[in-house]
């Protein structure tokens, strides 16, 4: 990792690899007689959705309240699919933070540019009119869902169709309709997940704000928590991958926020913590690869075998095992 530059940090990569290592370690713990009981909750069938909800609470709160805590590429992705102008997000941020509105006129001007005449009340307690203008919360949800689905399709078409053309090229010759149907169905389902995820973020927060008739930072975090339920739309085998990826982004964002408000030490000694985390994580992964191969999913194991070669069985590889 240091070969990419002494001052080039790879925090996102390190945290993601750490998440992968944690999953493998937890699977080892589940098998263990010593730690099996402790790790039993990790076998929860809907644990991936819970992780997604937890991640969503941090990620979407950061999207609204503190985008600087997110990696630039991920921030760009959220801005595209969150589909709210910066002036709207700024208005929501101000009301959630208890700050006086700085530019309601810019929000009204934004809506007017799209043909909607909105008059915003400077004394408002909830930001629904900021988020969706004159639309009701329900109408906004369905109209946003339709537009979000159109934005999501170009994201997932290459994800499914390119592997179909490369990995399953032989299958395309024998049963092209079956392969293409699976690709199109996967694209449609994943696009629905992403569009529902983005749409539900707004409807859940709107519902909470309207019930309690107030908006603040904790309520933004609570309101975005159930957004992760949208992951249930995805294929089961993809859920853990998505939830772990989002959890890595959420952890990075959380610690960035904590550091910015002074709850974490700003020490130069922590600048290359990514190298330490990455090293420890890869050590765990390689240990599992050599000694606990059954905790890997077959597709990952095949890739590692292709890269490193199939390791010797544990009883042949170490003197301790020989005894």
Whole-number average pLDDT of the chain: 84
pLDDT given for residue 3 in this prediction: 65
- Using CA atoms, how far residue 246 sits from 70, 104, 252, 301, in Å, is 11, 33, 10, 23
Are residues 147 and 166 located together in one domain of the fold? yes
State the CB neighbour count (10 A cutoff) for residue 27.
18
Q: Give the start-end residues of each E strand in the chain.
A: none
Nearest to 131 by CA among 20, 57, 78, 205: 205
Q: Residues 21, 77: one domain?
A: no
Domain enclosing residue 296, as ranges: 1-43+261-323
Q: Is there a contact between 193 and 228 (Cβ–Cβ < 8 Å)?
A: no
Higher pLDDT: 154 or 40? It is 154
Alpha-carbon distance values, 119 to 24, 112, 244 (Å): 54, 10, 42
**Domain co-membership, 194 together with 292:** no
Mean pLDDT, residues 244-261: 86
Task: Judge if 62 and 19 occupy the same domain.
Answer: no
What pLDDT does 268 receive?
A: 45
Instruction: Give the pLDDT score at 2.
Output: 67
186 close to 235: Cβ distance less than 8 angstroms: yes
Which of 263, 181, 197, 230 has its CA nearest to residue 48? 230
Measured distance CA(149)–CA(132) in Å, rounded:
18
> In terms of domains, do 151 and 207 share one?
yes
For residue 276, the model assigns a pLDDT of: 85
| Report for 21-30, 39-48, 126-135: range of highest mean pLDDT | 126-135
Nearest-angstrom CA–CA distance, 95 and 75: 21
Query: In this model, does residue 53 exceed pLDDT 90?
Result: yes
pLDDT band at 38 (very low <50, low <70, confident <90, very high): low
Taking only Cα atoms into account, the Rg of the chain, rounded to an integer number of angstroms, comes to: 23
Judge whether residue 165 has pLDDT over 80.
no
Three-state secondary-structure class, residue 28: helix
**33 lies in the same domain as 107:** no
- Is pLDDT of 14 > 70? yes
pLDDT of residue 142: 95
Residue 39 has a pLDDT of 64
Q: What's the pLDDT at 308?
A: 79
Q: Is there a single domain that holds both residue 111 and residue 212?
A: yes
Residue 320 exposed, middle or buried by CB count within 10 Å (0-12, 13-18, 19+): exposed
As a whole number, mean pLDDT of residues 123-141 equals 92
The whole-number pLDDT of residue 141 equals 95
Q: Which of 4-8, 99-103, 134-138, 159-163 has the lowest mean pLDDT?
A: 4-8
Residue ending a domain, among 203, 219, 252, is: 252
Mean pLDDT, residues 61-89 taken together: 91
Are residues 143 and 233 both part of a single domain? yes
User: Which whole number is the average pLDDT over 115-131?
Assistant: 90
Task: Out of 198, 230, 252, pick the residue that ends a domain.
Answer: 252
The model carries a pTM of: 0.80
**Exposure class string for 269-282: b at 16+ Cβ within 10 A, else e:** eeebebeebbeebb
Question: Which pLDDT score, from 0 to 100, does residue 274 have?
Answer: 79
Max intra-chain CA distance, the chain = 81
Domain boundary among 207, 234, 252: 252
Are 64 and 154 contained in the same domain? yes
**What share of the chain has pLDDT > 70, as a percent?**
87
**DSSP-based three-state secondary structure for 225:** helix
Judge contact between 231 and 52, C-beta under 8 A: yes
Question: Are both 216 and 281 inside the same structural domain?
Answer: no
Q: How many separate domains does the chain show?
A: 2
Same domain for 190 and 290, yes or no, is: no
Query: Do residues 81 and 156 share a domain?
Result: yes
Share of the chain above pLDDT 90, in %: 41
Residue in 273, 299, 260 with CA at minimum distance from that of residue 15 = 273
The residue-averaged pLDDT of 7-22 equals 79
Q: What is the mean pLDDT of residues 152-167?
A: 83
- Average pLDDT, integer, range 250-257: 88
Q: How far apart are CA 162 and CA 159, in angstroms?
A: 6
Q: What is the mean pLDDT of residues 35-61?
A: 82
Which range, 43-47, 138-142, 288-292, 307-311, has the best average confidence (pLDDT)? 138-142
């Amino acid at each position: 990792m240091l070969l990419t530059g002494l001052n080039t940090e790879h925090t996102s990569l390190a945290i993601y690899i750490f998440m992968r290592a944690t999953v493998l370690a937890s699977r080892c713990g589940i098998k263990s007689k010593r730690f099996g009981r402790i790790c039993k909750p990790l076998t929860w069938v809907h644990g991936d959705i819970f992780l997604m909800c937890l991640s969503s609470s941090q990620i979407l709160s950061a999207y609204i309240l503190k985008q600087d805590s997110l990696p630039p590429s991920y921030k760009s992705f959220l801005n595209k699919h969150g589909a709210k102008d910066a002036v709207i997000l700024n208005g929501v941020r101000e009301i959630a933070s208890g700050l006086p509105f700085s530019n309601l006129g810019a929000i009204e001007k934004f809506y007017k540019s799209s043909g909607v005449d909105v008059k915003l009340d400077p004394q408002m307690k909830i930001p629904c009119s900021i988020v969706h203008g004159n639309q009701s919360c329900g109408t906004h949800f369905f109209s946003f869902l339709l537009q979000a689905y159109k934005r999501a399709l170009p994201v997932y078409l290459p994800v499914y169709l390119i592997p179909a053309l490369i990995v399953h090229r032989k299958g395309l010759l024998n049963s092209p309709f079956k392969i293409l149907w699976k690709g199109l169905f996967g694209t449609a389902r994943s696009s629905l997940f992403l569009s529902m995820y983005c749409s539900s973020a707004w409807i859940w927060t709107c519902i909470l704000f309207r019930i309690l008739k107030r908006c603040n930072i904790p309520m933004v975090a609570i309101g975005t928590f159930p957004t992760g339920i949208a992951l249930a739309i995805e294929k089961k085998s993809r859920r853990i991958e998505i939830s772990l990826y989002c959890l890595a982004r959420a952890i990075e964002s959380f610690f960035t926020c904590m550091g910015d408000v002074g709850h974490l030490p700003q020490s130069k000694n922590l600048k290359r913590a990514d190298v330490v985390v990455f090293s420890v994580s890869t050590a765990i992964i390689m240990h599992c690869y050599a000694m606990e191969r059954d905790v890997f999913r077959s597709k990952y194991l095949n890739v590692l075998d292709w890269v490193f070669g199939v390791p010797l069985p544990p009883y042949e590889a170490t003197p301790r095992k020989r005894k």
